[in-house]
């Protein structure tokens, strides 16, 4: 891994992402002394910001977000790296000034990382302008470009975007972020599966009944109405984060942990997903929109009453899918995926339900119905790894109850690194294993495209669910009556 000095150029430096995620991540990496010496950070913005007012803003943002309180020495070191430049990032003339600034300043490294913390509609234009300004040539230093999600709107638009990036950057220079992959619990799925020999023999269709992947949010759309109403839950979360989690749960052991071996295995999973045909969309997919309801005892408006949402919008704020992976390991095991806004809790959980034992040995005892085993991998808000087993209840009777084996860090509030810290460091170190290769994105879009197309044609009605609930009744997706959503980590 290279940890050479570099220059991190943030386009959209005053935006939500830059303020809330990138700047705090940089601060924490500075605190951990992980930023290579002589590395600079250039914020590029359309606004005419002088150093003083930017410094005040940095102070305010980091005071609110530094995990262990703002430390003066760390802040001073970070500020010493930071420069703020104004200009139009879509205009080659503006970017030539950026180039001159870099070229004329000996303390600024010519290894350049361009971070696109900007609206996706600008990615192609900014990339072209970078080329026109001579900033894409690896002339005396390397170039990397970081692209935020969403990558495209559907298969075709993703393909077009990819082609425009590839005009000036090669695949190994492009870091497509899915920040979920930077979460340590998501990476732990790999460790859990492939570092524990006892799991492999049971991790398949012979023993697993079904798998659920849930990402629920109690918050609404905040101030992202324009983006969200255009995207909806299926594009925003399911096509990206949830399908990525599915690949990690379902993939075969990779030949090694290098980026290409890992991504090859993830792509094989995506390619094996049984296509949802146009006629089967209603049996495999469900959408709904939140109506007014209660969150934490407070009444909240429905989606159609949110600011800047058209009164007749049928954008889904909840989406669920049933998928099958047609390979030897998973044939006919349903994977149920769901995501929604304004749900009862913030939670990201993978729940794996095992089959019942083949023999009903305890039929003549007080054990009326044995509960199945579960493995629960909770990703946020707390990280948790839990196995549920059946044991005998203490006492004279032959009766059973569920007991839980928890990994030791199964606690709320434990210090968690933000995913962006790990990912920014990976870009600096040129490790792309947690970034998406284009074929992953392509096959993920192909999985959801038929659903998007069918929903596009059904413009007259959408189901609703009360804000603060666990979503609509989409039980028709389940293969059997004894399969139901598991809402809580505790059963």
Query: Could you list the active site residues?
Result: 241
Assigned token pair, 19: 């303020």
Q: Which residue is nearest to ligand NAP (CB)?
A: 15
* Residues 28-87 close enough to bind ligand NAP by CB under 6 A: 45-47
**What's the CA gap between 310 and 300, in Å, rounded?**
17
- Compute the least distance from the CB of residue 234 to ligand NAP, in Å: 15
Using the rule CB under 6 A, is 400 a contact of ligand NAP?
no
**What's the CA gap between 404 and 386, in Å, rounded?**
6
Helix (H) or strand (E) holding 123: helix 123-132
Annotate each residue in 91-120 with x if it binds ligand NAP (CB under 6 A) or - if it does not, as one string. --------------------------xxxx
Q: How many residues bind to ligand NAP according to rule CB under 6 A?
A: 17
Neighbours of 145 (CB within 10 A): 23
Assigned token pair, 71: 């430390």
CA 470 vs. chain centroid, Å, equals 21
Nearer of residues 15 and 372 to ligand NAP, judged by Cβ: 15
Assigned token pair, 479: 């293969």
- Compute the least distance from the CB of residue 17 to ligand NAP, in Å: 3
CA 180 vs. chain centroid, Å, equals 3
**What's the CA gap between 371 and 490, in Å, rounded?**
14
CA 111 vs. chain centroid, Å, equals 28
Helix (H) or strand (E) holding 52: helix 51-65
Name the residue among 338, 345, 431, 336 with its Cα closest to residue 381.
345
Residue among 149, 322, 342, 443 that touches ligand NAP (CB under 6 A)? 149
- Compute the least distance from the CB of residue 467 to ligand NAP, in Å: 21
- Given 3-state DSSP classes, what are the helix, strand and coil percentages for the chain, each rounded to the nearest 5? 35, 20, 40
Residue among 8, 24, 111, 148 that touches ligand NAP (CB under 6 A)? 148
**What's the CA gap between 90 and 71, in Å, rounded?**
36
Assigned token pair, 287: 């959408």
Nearer of residues 16 and 167 to ligand NAP, judged by Cβ: 16
CA 240 vs. chain centroid, Å, equals 6
Residue among 6, 8, 9, 12 that touches ligand NAP (CB under 6 A)? 12
Helix (H) or strand (E) holding 337: strand 335-340
Do 113 and 6 contact (CB within 8 A), yes or no? yes
- Compute the least distance from the CB of residue 18 to ligand NAP, in Å: 6
- Compute the least distance from the CB of residue 46 to ligand NAP, in Å: 4
The Cβ-side half-sphere exposure at 140, using a 13 Å CA radius, reads: 9
What SS3 state is found at 255?
coil
Residue among 16, 38, 278, 356 that touches ligand NAP (CB under 6 A)? 16
- Compute the least distance from the CB of residue 257 to ligand NAP, in Å: 26
- Compute the least distance from the CB of residue 19 to ligand NAP, in Å: 8
Nearer of residues 85 and 387 to ligand NAP, judged by Cβ: 85
Nearer of residues 119 and 381 to ligand NAP, judged by Cβ: 119
Nearer of residues 151 and 330 to ligand NAP, judged by Cβ: 151
Nearer of residues 146 and 384 to ligand NAP, judged by Cβ: 146
Q: What is the DSSP string of 257-271?
A: SSHHHHHHHHHHHHH
Assigned token pair, 62: 């980091």
Residue among 3, 5, 14, 410 that touches ligand NAP (CB under 6 A)? 14
Annotate each residue in 150-189 with x if it binds ligand NAP (CB under 6 A) or - if it does not, as one string. x---------------------------------------
Helix (H) or strand (E) holding 289: strand 285-291
Annotate each residue in 117-146 with x if it binds ligand NAP (CB under 6 A) or - if it does not, as one string. xxxx-x------------------------
- Compute the least distance from the CB of residue 184 to ligand NAP, in Å: 18
Nearer of residues 26 and 291 to ligand NAP, judged by Cβ: 26
Single out the segment in contact with ligand NAP by CB under 6 A; choices: 8-16, 324-332, 334-342, 366-374.
Answer: 8-16
Nearer of residues 120 and 220 to ligand NAP, judged by Cβ: 120
Note the residues at the interface with ligand NAP (CB under 6 A).
12-17, 45-47, 117-120, 122, 148-150
């Amino acid at each position: 891994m290279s940890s050479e000095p570099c220059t991190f150029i943030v386009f959209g430096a005053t935006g939500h992402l830059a303020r809330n995620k990138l700047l705090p991540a940089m601060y924490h990496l500075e605190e951990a002394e992980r930023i290579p010496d002589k590395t600079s950070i250039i914020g590029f913005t359309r606004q005419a910001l002088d150093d003083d007012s930017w410094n005040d803003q940095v102070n305010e943002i980091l005071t609110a977000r530094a995990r262990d309180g703002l430390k003066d020495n760390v802040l001073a070191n970070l500020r010493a790296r930071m420069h703020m430049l104004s200009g139009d990032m879509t205009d080659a003339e503006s970017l030539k000034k950026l180039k001159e600034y870099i070229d004329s300043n000996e303390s600024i490294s010519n290894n350049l990382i361009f971070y696109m913390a900007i609206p996706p509609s600008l990615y192609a234009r900014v990339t072209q302008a970078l080329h026109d300004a001579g900033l894409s040539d690896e002339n005396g230093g390397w170039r990397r470009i970081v692209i935020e999600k969403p990558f495209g709107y559907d298969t075709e638009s993703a393909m077009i975007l990819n082609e425009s990036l590839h005009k000036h950057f090669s695949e190994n220079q492009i870091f497509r972020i899915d920040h979920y992959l930077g979460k340590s619990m998501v990476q732990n799925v790999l460790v859990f599966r492939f570092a524990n020999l006892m799991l492999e023999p049971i991790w398949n269709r012979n023993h697993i009944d079904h798998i659920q992947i849930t990402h629920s949010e109690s918050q609404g759309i905040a101030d992202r109405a324009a983006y969200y109403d255009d995207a909806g839950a299926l594009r925003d979360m399911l096509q990206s984060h949830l399908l990525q989690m599915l690949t990690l749960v379902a993939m075969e052991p990779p030949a090694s942990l290098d980026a290409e071996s890992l991504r090859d295995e993830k792509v094989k999973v995506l390619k094996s997903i049984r296509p949802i045909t146009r006629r089967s969309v209603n049996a495999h997919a469900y959408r709904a929109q939140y109506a007014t309801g209660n969150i934490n005892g407070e009444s909240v408006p429905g989606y159609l009453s949110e600011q800047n949402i058209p009164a007749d919008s049928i954008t889904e704020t909840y989406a669920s899918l049933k998928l099958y992976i047609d390979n030897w390991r998973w044939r006919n095991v349903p994977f149920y995926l769901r995501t929604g806004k304004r749900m009862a809790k913030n939670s990201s959980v993978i729940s794996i339900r095992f089959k019942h034992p083949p023999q009903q040995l305890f039929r003549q005892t007080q054990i009326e119905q044995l509960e199945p085993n579960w493995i629960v991998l909770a990703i946020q808000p707390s990280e948790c790894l839990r196995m549920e087993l059946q044991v005998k209840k203490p006492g004279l009777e032959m009766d059973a109850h569920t007991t839980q084996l928890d990994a030791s860090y199964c606690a709320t509030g434990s210090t968690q690194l933000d995913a962006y810290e790990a990912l920014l460091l990976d870009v600096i170190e040129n490790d792309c294993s947690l970034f998406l290769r284009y074929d992953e994105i392509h096959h993920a879009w192909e999985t959801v495209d038929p659903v998007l197309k069918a929903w596009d044609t059904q413009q007259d009605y959408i189901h609703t669910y009360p804000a603060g609930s666990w979503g609509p009744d989409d039980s028709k997706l389940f293969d059997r009556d004894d399969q139901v959503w598991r809402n809580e980590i505790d059963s």
